Chains A and B, each alone.
Chain A
Amino acid sequence: MLTNYCKYDCAYCINRRSNDIPRATLSVSEVVSVTMEFYRRNYIEGLFLSSGVVRDPDYTMERMVRIAKDLREKYKFNGYIHLKSIPGASRELVNAAGRYADRMSVNVEIPSEAKLKYLAPEKDHASVYRPMGFIKQGVLENREDRKRMVHVPRFVPAGQSTQMIVGASDDTDRTILTLSSALYSMPTMRRVYYSGYVAVNSYDSRLPALKQPPLVREHRLYQADWLMRFYKFRADEITDGGSPNLDLDIDPKMAWALRHPEQFPVDVNKAPYEMILRVPGIGVRSAMLILNARKFRKLNEEHLRKIGVVVKRAKYFLTCGELSIHNLREARPDVVRRQLTFDFGNDG
């Protein structure tokens, strides 16, 4: 963090203008030298730099760019640099930053624009999506240039990410995941982070009074995120139950399976990869191993166990060879659900 001074007054942020807290600013050379010393000692892999907004977005952004530039050019810093682009920063500065950063990010913060304006009156979604667009364009143009010419320096090679605060507004998981899915459809968007709201400004009545940050909900959202990125689930499938929010007691993959008994059991020896992936207790790695192994012989329960399938959960949803272990239709979803929540407690 370059500075905790900020001219904005966002309800959810500890560093908002109206908070009476000690403020400090680091100089460019201070950040650069501490980064180098920490990096050499292997304390850190790189620099993740964000900042409060002083004076105006470009003034702040310019100092961040200078830090990245000095590290790369003066100190030949080889580590990772993540720059948090300041909302509202100009295209020129975003482009300059992209030459030195591995990854850049602009935070969405609040999933729906109406709620964002309510909690952070000085921000709107345009101030977020415009710099996101600059980064995307920069990366895509750079990709084209690198095809045609040899010595083009890379531009934000690790793409961009963003973050949403969960639980500061009453946005539902369906809203959040629908937005994530739209963000992931944008080329260069690599990760969406979900950050359970920590009640830092409990005096502000626009915010919910939370004793604890919603960590379980945050965890479920990450699981859902994984389902979209690695398990070929669509956002609308993950929240196709009665409630627009994820079930906190069981993980979203198990929840989907229990809502869709008609899709099971899956025959591990015949089913396509996409369906194998949908079986609770089978991950991406074990699904790949199953696909390879079944070319050689019919797999049985012992094989699956050895491959790393969590048979305890998977058994309700698959058949292998003759033995259908515990068929979901016989066992009934509600019984399985009770069984599983009993066995695994909160962790699904």
Chain B
Amino acid sequence: MMDNSATFKFDGSIEGLLSAVFDSYYLKIYPQVLTREVAGSSLFDDDIYTVITDPMKAGRVWRALERRVSKRVLEVMVTSFLVETTDGNVALFRYIRSILDSRENVESDFSNHDAVNVLGNCRRVRGEAHRLLQFARFQKAADGTYFALMEPRYDVLPMCVEHFVDRFSDSSFVIYDRKRNYGFHYDGSDVRKMKFMHDNEHVLGGGLSDSCMDSDERFYQQLWRTYFQAIAIKERINPRKQRQDMPCRFWPFLTEMQ
């Protein structure tokens, strides 16, 4: 039999997590762990309950939340989910439960560690999205499309596309997440999700190959590097601060750091 030390296993989607909340009420079980996937079958299989994602169940939990918490908090929850860690999932699950369990509105009860953790995770994801906006570097292809390759820590590309659509207005671009192997293509009017073949040379090579580059591209890259070096103030160079504000993991994609 399952007891309250049970583990719930779900498919890793937000609907899956909401279905898990529904099932935990239905089965009267409060799981201690909520994991995305459990490798193989283990001795403890008895304690693992597999949540079947059900849009109807997820919808009911979501509507219950909508009645109880502000829109801002709903957004925080969904954003925090993108950290994709077991601890993050558990914190979100427990935070949702605490809100639904309580008669009063406890969304801002920050003496509840889960609430603080969810807020912290949301900040982490938003921070990564912000970094992506700062550190995406586009290269111009011969056909006029701008191309940027990234490896963000979290799946934040969808949060960033609108920003670049605003920026490019009439010209087209591709922004691509090499870690998750998908991206977005904007053709000047519509955005669509896209995927390169796994052996795409631009993705593997970390940028456009020379033959596909616009003839001016190398020139502007060099111009930017020159500018970057020229505006640096020797007396104020502070490598530690630089690494804080512009972490090394972005450097392979930064024109000015090549």
Q: Does A205 contact B (CB under 8 A)?
A: no
Chain A, interface residues (CB within 8 Å), range: 20 to 34
**Is there contact, CB below 8 Å, between A43 and B137?**
yes
**Is there contact, CB below 8 Å, between B111 and A41?**
no
Most buried by A among B233, B236, B255: B236
**Is there contact, CB below 8 Å, between A296 and B106?**
yes
Which 5 A-B pairs give the minimum distances between C-beta atoms? A293-B110, A292-B108, A293-B111, A289-B110, A296-B109
Main secondary structure on B side of the interface with A: mixed
Q: Does A306 contact B (CB under 8 A)?
A: yes
The answer, among A41, A215, A295, A297, for a CB contact under 8 Å with B236, is A215
What mask results when residues 231 to 258 of chain B are scored 1 for a CB within 8 Å of chain A, else 0?
0010110000000000000000001100
**Is there contact, CB below 8 Å, between A212 and B220?**
no
**Is there contact, CB below 8 Å, between B224 and A43?**
yes
Most buried by B among A198, A289, A297: A289
Complex interface: chain A residues within 8 A of B110 (CB): 289-290, 292-293, 303, 307
The answer, among B108, B109, B220, B235, for a CB contact under 8 Å with A41, is B220
Q: How far is the CA of A263 from the CA of B113 in the complex (A)?
A: 30
Q: Does B171 contact A (CB under 8 A)?
A: yes
Q: Would you give 19 A-B contacts (Cβ < 8 Å), ordered by A? A: A38-B224, A38-B227, A40-B168, A41-B146, A42-B136, A42-B167, A43-B224, A78-B167, A212-B235, A215-B236, A292-B109, A293-B111, A294-B111, A295-B108, A295-B109, A306-B113, A306-B116, A307-B116, A308-B116
Q: Does B148 contact A (CB under 8 A)?
A: yes
Q: Does B166 contact A (CB under 8 A)?
A: yes
Q: How far is the CA of A157 from the CA of B3 in the complex (A)?
A: 59
What mask results when residues 208 to 243 of chain B are scored 1 for a CB within 8 Å of chain A, else 0?
000000001000100110010000010110000000
Complex interface: chain B residues within 8 A of A43 (CB): 137, 224, 255-256
Q: Which residues of B contact A (CB under 8 A)?
A: 106, 108-113, 116, 136-140, 146, 148, 164, 166-169, 171, 216, 220, 223-224, 227, 233, 235-236, 255-256
Complex interface: chain A residues within 8 A of B164 (CB): 42
The answer, among B166, B171, B256, for a CB contact under 8 Å with A40, is B171
Whole-angstrom distance between the Cβ of A37 and the nearest chain B Cβ: 5
Complex interface: chain A residues within 8 A of B166 (CB): 78
Q: How far is the CA of A198 from the CA of B233 in the complex (A)?
A: 9
**Is there contact, CB below 8 Å, between B138 and A34?**
no
Q: How far is the CA of A297 from the CA of B108 in the complex (A)?
A: 12
What mask results when residues 29 to 50 of chain A are scored 1 for a CB within 8 Å of chain B, else 0?
0000010011111110000000
